[in-house]
Structure 1
Amino acid sequence: MVAAMVSCSAAIARLDVRISVSSVASAWARRAAWSGYTRALQLQSAEIDEIDVFSWGCGLQIPGRPLRSTTVDLFDRFDAWAAGLADRDPLAWRDALPTAIGEPPVAAEHPALIRALDRVRQHARIEGTALPWLGLPFALRDIGLTATPLPCLAGGAKAFRLKRKPDVGDWLATVRAVEAAARDGLERLHDLERFHRDAQRAIVAQFRPGALPRLLALAVHQPLLSPQAVAHHLGLSVAGASKLLERAVTAELLVEITQRRSWRLFLPHDLAVEFGYAASKRGRPAKEPPALPASRALVDTFDTFDREMAEIDKLLSGIVQVPLASD
């Protein structure tokens, strides 16, 4: 148990440090919120996969996936949670918790990670919704393990709600699950940063990039794309958006996950592999190309790309879900 706590705390610390210096932290946080919310729903015994939450977040329905329920709104708490994650007031979420949640004097004898998880346990015993599981990122922040709430760390254990006193096995399983979430979050951050670098190389390699930089900036923040979605966000025709997406596929930045002439859908390669829509490459991982040589022209190009990413981020920040494709 001690070894598991040390390993988990180290994994959380590595993710927290990397996020603080990453140029794609905002885009990562959006994806991590969908991942964390998936875990909270699964702890509520909802039969839903992560790809379904991603598709909801991007406003698209993936063919062959179960249709979303029209009688029960699984995402009714997402907006308030997302607002809490973005709130700079560190006391906002804590002040909304039931007053019965607190730390007894003996809590000071326990590690910070266990104290954060115990706050989730107390909340889960009081409230039967997904809010306790969504509160773990805030508990980790409040206890000093992270500088900001990391949404991918939402979670807990059903035993926290079902058992008055969870046993050591329950605590150990929970600690290992949090560590796995932190490791996955860091791996996805690396994948997203690599996509950002590959996008820069693809833009430089194009003789006339046109709207390709804006498409790739959109793909960073909204990974599941369709021609209709791209046309809506970038002000293009559907035919023009389709051709633009095909250019990104040719550059090996996006993967088409549907084989159909209409309502086509695309994902970045790393997510397509993770969600089972593309096969992972066998053998030794390919060596990343060397960094591009420094020049004023490249600096201007990269600055323009980063500004477009910031504009897309602002655009999507005010949009929770837009019905871009027919269910």
Structure 2
Amino acid sequence: MPSPASYGPDYTPQMAAAIASCTASISRLDARISVSSAASAWNRRATWSGYARALQLQSAEVDEIDVFSWGCGLQIPGRPLRSTTLDLFDRFDAWAAALADPDPLAWRDTLPTAISAPAVATQHPALVRALDQVRQHALADGGILPWLGLPFALRDSGLSASTLPCLAGGAKAFRLKRKPDADDWLAVLRALERSAREGLERLHDLEKFHRNAQRAIVEAFRPGALPRLLALTHHRPLLSPQGVADALALSVAGASKLLERAVAADLLVEITQRRSWRLFLPPDLAVEFGYAAPKRGRPAKEPPPLPASRDLTVAFDAFDQEMAAIDKLLTSARGPKLSSP
């Protein structure tokens, strides 16, 4: 490896192992998301996760669940109220629009002209080049955009085929130090690897939820609006009776009964034990955010796949169409608010 006198970290065995491990985690996530049927729903959740991490690097006192609740348009009782004087989410719509932009050069064209890579950069790993772009951007811009730019830098470096929004991040040391030391680089690499692993685990959980939803629909004597509710849950995991009623054109009482059916089928968990202003989350997110206790002991064996039949194929295709319709509805509802970065 070249001497990193003015570029990149010192390539000790520990650093080389961290770079290789982080690169492998990103590659695994990218490979899985490229073939997953739950990619659209995962991307929506990953966008909230990545934005939460970027806010934390800006020293904002916000947790991931707060960004999820903002994205779903709900306030969770007991959580701090959002500031009315400072808009923490003023960059979110522009970032979401950039993530969905098919032009791979659109984000790069908005970078400050001061960001450049020396000739020696081509001799360094792609992951180091991507992180150094974020470091230069953080020195030139004191806002949140440098941390939001990491998924684009990873894509432009060839580490991922598409932007993976859960990989937004960086390190405060990139902004505070002209040359981060080895500990700073290792901290960034480990945090990025952890984000990639968590993103892959959440994709697995989402796909498992999809399979469980299919089984629940097949086992229901009269599914009714249950498929539409489960399709909505994929894309908007935090639910309330009023929100479900508005999205699915139901009465509040009907939406409450529908949510209770999903709870009885172990597809949702109520996180507010109250008669009014009830809120629900999928089991995996309820456990992750601390609203439900994780199950102890050996994990339950997943039921075998349902036998193939024409009737099941029709039911599953209808469910996938419901998911696509909900995705289109939520995307179009957000569309007019988008602005360019």
- Structure 1 residue 237, shift from structure 2 partner: 0.2
Aligned-residue offset at 1:113: 0.2
Q: For the residues of structure 1 that align with 2:119 and 2:300, how far apart are their CA atoms?
A: 53
Q: Which amino acid aligns with 2:327?
A: D
Which of 305, 312, 321 is the aligned partner of 1:298? 312
Q: CA deviation at 1:80?
A: 0.4
- Hey, what does 2:31 align to over in structure 1? 17
SS in 1 for 2:333: coil
CA RMSD of aligned residues (A): 0.8
Shift of 1:304: 0.1
Superposition deviation, residue 318 in structure 1: 2.5
Give the Cα separation in 2 of the matches to 1:286 and 1:191: 14
Q: Deviations over 1:144-194 (max 9, x none)?
A: 000000000000000000001101110111011100000000000000000
Amino acid at match of 1:187: E
Quick one: distance in 2 between partners of 1:197 and 1:152? 23
Pairing 1:218-297 to 2, within 5 Å after superposition? 218-297=232-311
Letter in 2 for 1:135: G
The answer for the alignment partner of 2:163 in structure 1 is: 149
Q: Does 1:212 align with 2:226?
A: yes
Q: SS of 1:52's equivalent?
A: helix
Measure the CA separation in 2 of the matches of 1:85 and 1:181: 18
Cα deviation code 1:186-218 (max 9, x no counterpart)? 000000000000000000000000000000000
Deviation at 1:102, TM superposition (A): 1.2
Hey, what does 1:43 align to over in structure 2? Answer: 57
Tell me, in whole angstroms, the C-alpha distance in 2 between the residues paired with 1:149 and 1:138. Answer: 6
**Is 1:227–1:245's contact at 8 Å kept on the other side of the alignment?**
yes
Unpaired segments ≥5 residues, structure 1: 322-327
What amino acid does structure 2 have at the position aligned with 1:98?
Answer: P
Residue 29 of structure 1 corresponds to which residue in structure 2? 43
2:161, 2:116 → 1: CA distance?
Answer: 21
**In 1, Cα distance between equivalents of 2:116 and 2:261:** 55
Q: For the Cα contact (< 8 Å) 1:35–1:152, is it kept in 2?
A: yes
Question: Within 5 Å, which residues of 2 pair with 1:69-108?
Answer: 69-108=83-122
Percentage identity across paired residues of the two chains: 79
Match of 1:314 in 2: 328
Corresponding pairs, count: 321
Equivalent-residue separation in structure 2 for 1:99 and 1:143 (angstroms):
18
- Distance in 1 (alpha carbons) for counterparts of 2:332 and 2:75: 20
One-letter amino acid matched to 1:67: L
1:59 aligns with 2:73: yes
Contact 1:57–1:320 (Cα < 8 Å) also in 2: no
Q: Deviations over 1:273-308 (max 9, x none)?
A: 000000000001111000000000000000000000
* CA–CA distance in structure 1, aligned partners of residues 101 and 122 of structure 2: 28
Q: Does 1:130 align with 2:138?
A: no
Query: By how many angstroms is 1:41 displaced?
Result: 0.1
- Cα distance between partner residues in 2 of 1:16 and 1:118: 21
- Which segments of structure 1 move beyond 4 Å, counting only runs of 4 or more? none
Does the residue aligned with 2:286 lie in a helix, a strand or coil? helix
SS in 1 for 2:114: coil
AA partner of residue 71 (structure 2): G
Q: 2:175 aligns with which of 139, 151, 161?
A: 161
Q: Which amino acid aligns with 1:48?
A: V
Matched AA of 1:249? V
- Amino acid in the other structure paired with 1:9: T
**C-alpha displacement of 1:106:** 1.2
Query: 1:100 & 1:234 partners in 2: Cα distance?
Result: 49
For residue 320 of structure 1, report the CA deviation from its aligned partner.
4.1
Provide the TM-score with structure 1 as the length reference. Answer: 0.97
1:111-122 matches, within 5 Å, as: 111-122=125-136
> Of residues 179, 186, 190 in structure 2, which corresponds to 1:172?
186
Aligned to 1:196: 210
Specify the alignment match of 2:124 in structure 1. Answer: 110
